[in-house]
Amino acid sequence: MSAIDWSKIKVVVLDRDGVINHDSDDYIKTPEEWIPIAGSLPAIAKLNQKFKVAIATNQSGIGRGYYDEQILHAMHDKMDGLLKEYDGHIDHIEFCPHHPDDGCACRKPETQMLEHIAEKFSAEPQEIVFVGDSSSDYHCAQNFGCPFILLLTGKGLKTLNKLAGKNLIVEKSLAMLVESID
């Protein structure tokens, strides 16, 4: 994929775990476990100056019974509070609460979350950039038809190896990505 023409982008969609906050193989199950990656929150605040910022996140920990939607909202309240310290915000959050075996239409790499975000902001796929760290993020973007940027935070290095040979735009972190945008 060639470089992104940021002048045509309306919405930046971020995966959550591994992009905004540290990820865990044991799942992020409490607000206390939700810890931002260095530089991610000021980067979101900078994105807010030019774009709508949304999150599309698989949260199968709900379907697995590790936490409930109330706890998820408490995690997002913590994120919102920390973002306010940088004059930042998230314009919209989509999440899939289902177990991977449920066969839902919202779990990435399915595209329902991106479809909802596009509809909310009246954006076409080419006006959206999806930023993630997993192969399901990449395949979701491919299935939806929007540009994708792989971050090397979270699962990004493993994903880079899994997607070897694909023409990827890769950036070290969300902070580094935002610094590179004109």
pLDDT per position as a tens digit, 34-67: 999 999 999 999 999 999 999 999 999 999 999 9
Active site residue 17: yes
pLDDT digits (tens, 9 = 90+) for 81-120: 999 999 999 999 999 999 999 999 999 999 999 999 999 9
* 96 labeled part of a ligand binding site: yes
The encoded tokens of residue 146 equal 């929007």
Tokens 């930042």 map to which residue? Answer: 88
Inform me whether the pLDDT recorded for 5 exceeds 60. yes
Contacts of 158 (CB under 8 A, 6+ apart): none
pLDDT digits (tens, 9 = 90+) for 139-152: 999 999 999 999 99
* 133 labeled part of a ligand binding site: yes
Active site residue 26: no
pLDDT value for 182? 66
* 146 labeled part of a ligand binding site: no
pLDDT value for 3? 85
Stretch 152-171: mean pLDDT: 96
Contact criterion met (CB below 8 Å) for 54 and 90: yes
Burial classification of residue 36, based on how many CB atoms lie within 10 Å of its CB (0-12 exposed, 13-18 middle, 19 or more buried):
middle
Average pLDDT, the chain: 96
* 106 labeled part of a ligand binding site: yes
Inform me whether the pLDDT recorded for 2 exceeds 60. no
What CATH number has the domain spanning 9-122+148-180?
A: 3.40.50.1000
Strand order, beta sheet including 148-151: 92-96, 52-58, 11-14, 128-132, 148-151, 169-171
pLDDT value for 1? 40
Stretch 127-144: mean pLDDT: 98
Find the catalytic residue in 17, 77, 137, 182: 17
Give which of 57, 49, 38 is closest to 174, Cα–Cα. 38
Contact criterion met (CB below 8 Å) for 66 and 29: yes
Contact criterion met (CB below 8 Å) for 70 and 25: no
